[in-house]
Structure 1
């Protein structure tokens, strides 16, 4: 079926090598998925310029070819009759458009306002087709889509100016089972995420207004588990802003991902028409992942969803599609700032429970009031939002029931009852709400209402005038855009000439620069080698000093001038076991306790069981009860100030004169023990004699 194209319908052959000619012009690609290739994903495509002339047309191509042609012809607009022909889901569409998603418009030509029109009918109506046809071939559909988009028909699904960037900052790797350093690495990662988040926020706020930046964080003990930054800028611009910090972020071990958020897609997920007058209750669970739940005033769940770092405007757009919110509910007593801000924008009340809802309580509320809750509520964020909304509904339920009963007596309509319920939520009594509804709905309006009607008419007239002004400005913008493209074309021609001259200059200086580059590489390698040699020399010097100290220690040991001392960190079970495990401390050796203040019963028993020849420590720091237990077992305790402890590499040693000191202390402890035993025996014998004397006295009586 012939397509009517104005002004000139040129064939592909006329545009061989055209890529240089189309710079600075609008380039539109129409795409259509072949019906018989649903699983093979083969496309027909037509590329046209701003005059409607065909640059390229192809059939039976895969998406890889489509993607290459988008880049080759610098396409700025993609036209389709159904966006889901590009991908079966929103995420697949985003993935396929990839790096060009914030540089290209995606137009769904068959979507006019809130309605869809058959492509063939729309093409005939707009003059693209000369006659009505029941069906178009894939190539004809692609060409018709491109021409309709050129005429300004359809709805923009992706608009580069509306795309927002989302920055996700998280750990560089997951923290599985680990060893002794696991906790330290965990703390380092959380601290790094916090520092990188602060760094990025500071940099972004230099270039973007504070009001256009939103940050959501998941806090932890030592920093942040992860953070999400949403800002009103394109991903490509954000990447340019953060490029100077790329190496720094990489070294920090933090994973940073920049994604695109497309508002039009987010709004389509709700899938309901705007119901401005219907009062609704909203539950919100804000955070990195935000949960949204919407109920009517009968407690019926209308909508529940969750998303990664949903910004305030996305949440508000979703809510207002279902009606007029009368209350926004939270599941915690201290209402989050995001909830208060959204409620302020929407002009509705905020509900907070008297205490934070527990997980068990929220689970029970959802299970008892949502049919097939396992299929409806997908995660904990959605559950919390639903529970918050239901809790708010239950807070007003009794008043709603009383109002329903009273309204039946007064024979009020359902819309009147819904309005009265909304007034109750705002703080009116049942009587006041009913009176207000009945009074407002009377044919003879009050003076206030009569005065308001001219104002309403004036505002409507003003709105109509503003819409006309916006349309006029839009036309002016399109004219300016056309002028800009012409100027851009001239600029590119001059840039091409400059590039030729620069290329000649580069070739001339290439020989000299190549030599200097080689010299720089050699210089860097020599510097690195010199640094390595210096480090190795320092290590050799340390090892030589250690070796000399060890030789001297061996000589002194052979002469009997010194005695080796074994080190124990403290008198705890763990420290003593470590010393035994690594064969640091053996039976009958001298032990040096570094920290006598730290001890426990198991450690004392284990140390005494080892029967050390003596213990060297800071006696004034050792607890008195521990000191007494050790002395009772006849183990000499020598104060660190009485002997000189020296170190050779990993070995500790003291002068051999300590042997005499140990012998003296040992004899003293044994003598004290003998005296103590004698005193105990004498005391026992005395008590025995006294007891025996009393028994004899009783027998005589």
Structure 2
């Protein structure tokens, strides 16, 4: 390319770093020659150079050196002038290669450690037509004309200001419309009307940005913005449309095999199909590139391969004799193929490449820098000398002379004068004969195989008949063996569980035998299922110490089971012990006579399902619990006796009342308080006494009434003091007798 090209490479910093901004090495190339070099160019200065000089291409070896992500790349491409292309010289984003490998195709060498050399190589490669243009915008451009100032608010003067601003937007829009019409560009327009003119006009122009005859501007009352329509994803387009040269191997037949290599021997395409006609095959190869050599694995090139070679005017290659199958596997080694057709095509292409490989290496050593080595090798394969090929590539020799030389040196291919149809039929007959011979050999081999299988079948039938005679006994034995195996597996599982339990018991016993330590069995939850599991695993018996981790969901039955197992004590963690007190679990343990201790003073250490606690602290805690248990038992018995005595007293008071006697006249007030229940004490009662028959004749009523006797005659009332002393003594004696009787009953029960 003859235009100016910028090549850049990052020296220090990174686009991803927020602290150290990138600095670039900049190389300017024009007409294939370096005109200037500059180091430590910042991003801002680089954009200023690009806007000022407007180069044709900005070449980089990787777009990651100028943009952190897709959004940054869109923004960077929007800042570039309309005529400047961003070119990545190392690939299209999918098929990537290193910069040295891309430069080797043009016989360029440089120092990979020098950023200035890399920038120079990128610029030269772009000038040779290598690389891919980065496309971020479609062929549609949006031109927006809008206000450059706020309309504000005001009176009549403000209205004149708004009309002036909207009029300026309309004027600019009309000028842009005239330019688009003059440039014969297709467009659509969206207008937003406003007071005195138009507030916003958007032109959608169906042309790329570089063809738009309008420049963005901002000043005065209106502004013009130009932006391309973004693509859905970043695209890469080859900088030149020139196809690459290929070495194509073809295996014809019902199933066609195709293998394509580039001039460096790299596999480009490998496939096989039964659906392609000759036209489809030609189209498929043309999509891959330009075939330079068409190769076959046969000493005489088949007519179908020759027909494709003629379509591309390619150089024919075929071996001196047919390639053997073992040679094909050697040639195709290192590359994967699916069937024999792909193998044959690949071996033909590789054989052809190896034939020209030494010549290609010699050309690369003798070729000057900056020459397209693929084009140079193609010209030499077609029959030109190195000097003629270089002259033709550089354009110093007329094409007619080069074509004439090529025609002189290329061997003329002489075809048989027979009709093409006869040639095709002969090819078909040859293939059918080969197929018939192959099928005949396969048929003979299959006959031998069938005979051998018949003999084997007869022998197996005899063996099978002998086996059936003993089938009954064998089946019975198999059932017995299966039953024994099932029992054996069951016993093995039982032995395994017993061994695990024995190991835990051994560890428990070893901990129990330690000096100053007492072993604990850990119970994860105070529940019957957890107790049953622990009993199956380690056993729960007398003098065992259980360390319970949780008491949620406890029941009286599990407490009874532990008490019946005569467990020595149950230890609870401090928080769990507090929770158990709130849930009245401690009282259940005391009722069952099972010691329950708090782990706050015992400092238990637990590992798995076994733990230890200090023996001395444990004994002290047990002694304290037994002392408190004795007090609890006494208080419980006393409470029972008191409740029964109180019940008896209440009954007696009720009987006295039923006789019509006021308890206050018989029982002192201090005893009456204990006899009456709380609900009978609360209401204030007034004692009503019956008046004497001769109340009017008496001068003073006695303080206490005399109980009448139903059988005797009416006697004079006794003194009040004698009644007060006789009634309490009688009631006290009865209560004492009742207490002694209940104490004996309770002692007998306990």
Q: TM-score, normalised by structure 1?
A: 0.29
Higher helix fraction (1 or 2): 1
Q: TM-score, normalised by structure 2?
A: 0.28
Bigger Rg, which one: 2
